[in-house]
Amino acid sequence: MDLLHNLIFGFGVAFSPVNLLYCLIGVIVGTLIGVLPGIGPLATIAMLLPATFYLSPVSALIMLAGIFYGAQYGGSTTSILVNIPGESSSVVTCLDGYAMARQGRAGPALAIAALGSFFAGCVATVIIALFAPPLAKIALEFRSPDYFSLMVLGLVSAAVLARGSLLKAFAMIILGLLLGLVGTDVNSGASRYTFGISELFDGISFVAIAMGMFGLSEIIFNLEAKGKKEIFTSHIHGLMPTKADVKASWKAVIRGTLLGSALGILPGSGSIIPPFASYTLEKKLAADPSRFGQGAIEGVAGPESANNAGAQTSFIPLLTLGIPSNAVMAMMMGAMMIHGIAPGPEVISKQPDLFWGVVASMWIGNLMLVVLNLPLIGIWVRLLTVPYRFLFPAILIFCCIGAYSLNSSALDVGFIAIFGLLGYVFRKLDCEPAPLILGFILGPMMEENLRRTMVLSRGDPTIFFTRPISCGLLLAAAFLLMLIVFPTLRHKREEVKE
């Protein structure tokens, strides 16, 4: 079979000592970057790019790719341990992962995240090998109306994330949308809500909001809690997932992988939407949705698999069409061009060692990551047994430095404080930050695509329904909305009757 041939060929390329070494370097650096809040794979790849000039193109790409998906692994570590998402794709992992850590189950959470990611990585590798060109064509079919409808679906599912009042969840989503609009408007160039502060022209930094609303508010809450109880229970329930854990998670992993692989291909949405979608799906399919947010392991397994699968499949548009799906891919494209390779449909045929070598290296990289991360779990878990009064200043330091290091901007650090206050106030009022963050991420894209669609269709809104993809997504959103709203209404009516 051709596929087998190609894969074997690819493994031959990827298994060379040089490429193995660079793969290892890439994933280690990537994991470190993911764990450190603030610095992300983009800046790291930019810094390391000159170092790759003297390498062969295959080695260079293998290393850079390793940094990218390695960062996904690292990002989930901080989400689980200290409720701080290292990357936007790790936000969802905070919800149940951190809850599990509080219950002494950080080990199983980290392990399931690693194993789920590994499974997803393997499957995604096969998918890339088999379906890259046709999948890329599908991805290209997505136009502005379809993206808008996808965002609508995403936002409706954001309401599912919340555990409390639906009204508050929707309000938080809207507030998140508004926060996302801060900055320069793409369509007109006008600057909104910037108060003349030039650093706000490109919007509030995600890192500041995430660290503030998740991390800082969590710290304040923990500090004000009365009583001698330690924040992280010192009774560790073992480092590895139990049989029950695995039984509960394996379906979530599969679903997450498929969801992530499908959604990761879409240029622009990249690795942000898959974890959210997976979480929503798991919560809706679960027998007891109220467990979510309190340590349901499916809430970690699904999203983690989704985000790793998404990270890998996001390579597809670049490797097959020469269209980078996100900023990191754009850097890779630059790296390829520097090495004299024109990314595009011919890469598969004209540079098979590059394509298959990189694909095979993704599998190897995932394996390395699991081997590296699993033993580290013991260390991470032990870290949590440190008394909180030592732990939280350390968290504060890494947050502040991490945020500052992004753009050497003290203002970003100041924003952490502002959003920390906001996050604290909202939690006191029973409003959850997760829907807000999703609104923040998706809002600008949603508005941009809405306005562009209206210009393209010359003001005709029916285009959202005449395009099949868009229509399908909007119907799914409406269906999901009904699923969410009606049970709540019924519940309310019963409550009022009493």
* Of 27, 253, 362, 413, the one binding other proteins by CB under 8 A: 413
Q: Which of 281, 270, 328 is nearest to 303 (CA)?
A: 281
Q: Is 407 in the site for other proteins (CB under 8 A)?
A: yes
* Of 220, 370, 383, 476, the one binding other proteins by CB under 8 A: 220
Q: Is 284 in the site for other proteins (CB under 8 A)?
A: no
Pick between residue 107 and residue 317 the one whose CB is nearest to other proteins.
317
Stretch that binds other proteins, among 67-75, 125-133, 246-254, 423-431 (CB under 8 A): 423-431
Q: How far is the CB of 272 from other proteins (least distance, A)?
A: 15
CB atoms within 10 A of CB 122: 18
Q: How far is the CB of 190 from other proteins (least distance, A)?
A: 4
152-191 positions binding other proteins, by CB under 8 A:
165, 167-168, 170-171, 174-175, 177-178, 181, 184-191
Q: Is 479 in the site for other proteins (CB under 8 A)?
A: no
* Of 131, 246, 291, 344, the one binding other proteins by CB under 8 A: 344
Pick between residue 318 and residue 360 the one whose CB is nearest to other proteins.
318
* Of 417, 471, 476, 481, the one binding other proteins by CB under 8 A: 417
CB 135 within 8 A of CB 323: no
Pick between residue 130 and residue 337 the one whose CB is nearest to other proteins.
337
Q: Is 394 in the site for other proteins (CB under 8 A)?
A: yes
Per-residue burial over 96-106, b if 16 or more Cβ lie within 10 Å, else e, is bbbbbbbbbbb
Pick between residue 249 and residue 326 the one whose CB is nearest to other proteins.
326
Q: Is 343 in the site for other proteins (CB under 8 A)?
A: yes
Q: How far is the CB of 4 from other proteins (least distance, A)?
A: 27
Pick between residue 120 and residue 442 the one whose CB is nearest to other proteins.
442
Q: Is 404 in the site for other proteins (CB under 8 A)?
A: yes
Q: Residues 26-55: x/- map of binding to other proteins (CB under 8 A)? A: ----------x--x--xx-xxx-xx--x--
Stretch that binds other proteins, among 251-259, 356-364, 446-454, 474-482 (CB under 8 A): 446-454
Q: How far is the CB of 450 from other proteins (least distance, A)?
A: 7
